[in-house]
Amino acid sequence: MPTQHTPLCTAFVRHQRVAAGSYSAVAAALAGQDLTAGAFLVFDDATGTQVDYPWPSGYAPEQPADAVIQEELPAAPSVGRPKLGVVAREVTLLPRHWEWLGQQRGGASAALRRLVDEARNASAARDQARQAKEASYRFMSAIGGDLPGFEEASRALFAEDAAAFATRIAHWPIDVQAYLAWLSRNAFPV
């Protein structure tokens, strides 16, 4: 049975975190705040993207493709590929590629799926670091673009220099530091 992760967000009034949690919980918390224009920002926790508030009742952003986790396999395979989630798209390859794929176990489609899975697994850590850097930078730009040391902190983030990054944001407001540390937790190699 697939499990949906509840999309989460965090709200700031100026540089102070005032709410965090599901979109509905943050909306309820913000409803009780005195929100003057431009004094608050809401960020999606998965992407660091600034989210416009107020959002419509029941709103939740689209989830990333990997947000659905398969807990268990179906008891018996269904007949028909659409029921399995297979999506048909066009792939353009040279004749030698089609020839090689046709000789593989399970045919071209199965071979392509295996190749994609292997590539995803091989680059998972690198992709996670890139996504963490992008999310961190989105947040930094929106909330801290005018904070002292912003440019140096940005350079340190993309240079994967954790020590310089921590030094550059050390004098920023504590809630901004804490959220940025959480967003960037996977941005630096171990």
Q: Is residue 89 part of a domain?
A: no
pLDDT score, position 82: 61
pLDDT score, position 84: 66
CA distance 136 to 36: 26
Q: Is residue 146 part of a domain?
A: yes
Question: pLDDT (tens digit, 9 = 90+) per residue, 86-116?
Answer: 777 888 889 898 888 888 888 888 888 888 8
Give the pair of three-digit tokens for residue 152.
């140096």
Q: Is residue 157 part of a domain?
A: yes
Residues 6+ away with beta carbon under 8 Å from 87? none
Q: Is residue 132 part of a domain?
A: yes
CA distance 178 to 133: 15
Residues 6+ away with beta carbon under 8 Å from 33? 13, 18, 40
Q: Is residue 168 part of a domain?
A: yes
Q: Is residue 52 part of a domain?
A: yes
Q: Which residues pair with 22 in a beta bridge?
A: 8
Domain stop point among 49, 65, 81: 65
Q: Is residue 176 part of a domain?
A: yes
Residues 6+ away with beta carbon under 8 Å from 101? 93, 107, 108, 111, 112
Calculate the CA 169 to chain-centre distance.
22
Domain assignment of residue 36, given as a range: 2-65
Total structural domains within the chain: 2
Domain stop point among 65, 82, 97: 65
pLDDT < 50 positions in the chain: 1, 66-80
Q: Is residue 9 part of a domain?
A: yes
Phi-psi bin for 92: left (phi > 0), alpha (psi -120 to 50), beta?
A: beta
